[in-house]
Amino acid sequence: MRKVVRLPSHIQLIVPKHHTAFQRFTVDDENRIFVQTWEKTKDGKAFIYDVFDSEGICFVKIPLEITPRVWKNNKLYTIEEDEDGYQSVVRYKVTWH
């Protein structure tokens, strides 16, 4: 990182030796917690999410190529960009088996 980022000499770059166990997390309206890990799928296109129930028990791992923003009423909302760089809000229906 120090080789890529060129900062003025008066700014000190502090890079921790270790990173967190997760990147981010979101919660839905049924208190399920979706934790984005650093693990990726074999093709590298999706991150693995650990999904915990309202009692904190991990019950599934799911790959997602998108970044979840909001989970509500079994819908997942994301912000996605098309090939021209235009962003839009996309809604997915989520079903649990």
Rounded mean pLDDT of the chain? 87
What's the whole-model pTM score? 0.72
Q: Up-side HSE of residue 44: CA atoms within 13 Å toward CB?
A: 0
pLDDT at 39: 92
What residue ranges do the domains of the chain occupy?
A: 24-93
Question: 2 pLDDT band (50/70/90 cuts)?
Answer: low
As a whole number of angstroms, the distance between CA 66 and CA 90 comes to 10
Q: Model confidence over 55-89: pLDDT tens digits?
A: 989 999 999 999 899 999 999 999 999 999 999 99
Output the six-digit token pair for 1: 């990182």
Across 7-30, average pLDDT? 78
pLDDT at 88: 96
As a whole number of angstroms, the distance between CA 32 and CA 53 comes to 5
pLDDT at 4: 66
Amino acid 51 reads: V
CA 77, 51, 33, 44 torsion-angle sign: negative
As a whole number of angstroms, the distance between CA 39 and CA 22 comes to 9
- How many of the other CB atoms lie within 10 Å of CB of 76? 19
